[in-house]
């Protein structure tokens, strides 16, 4: 359904942010956007009762937000 398409789109976006960060690891905006996508993905997964995946993505989101803040406080 719609949530499957949303998850696919978010995973594609996260992959794109990872690619951008490989090119420029100091791109704070990419870390911030990646964190936002991971947070949204975690919320969808939590609704689907995939708590383990949600927690994993929340931890990754926090790391991405922290890296963005290190680069651009």
- pLDDT value of residue 2: 73
pLDDT greater than 70 at residue 1: no
- In this prediction, residues 45-72 reach a mean pLDDT of 88
Cα 62 to Cα 1, 36, 66: the distances in Å are 28, 10, 6
- pLDDT value of residue 56: 87
Distance CA 28, CA 45 (A): 25
Distance CA 1, CA 29 (A): 30
Burial class (CB in 10 A: 0-12, 13-18, 19+), 28: middle
The predicted-structure confidence for 5-58, as pLDDT tens digits, reads as follows 888 999 999 999 999 999 999 999 999 999 999 999 888 887 877 788 888 889
pLDDT greater than 80 at residue 3: no
Place of tokens 């976006």: 13
């Amino acid at each position: 359904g719609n949530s499957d398409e949303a998850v696919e789109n978010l995973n594609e976006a996260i992959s794109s942010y990872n690619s951008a960060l490989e090119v420029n690891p100091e791109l704070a905006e990419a870390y911030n956007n990646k964190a936002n996508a991971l947070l949204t993905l975690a919320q969808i997964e939590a609704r689907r009762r995939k708590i383990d995946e949600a927690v994993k993505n929340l931890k990754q989101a926090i790391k991405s937000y922290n890296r963005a803040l290190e680069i651009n406080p």
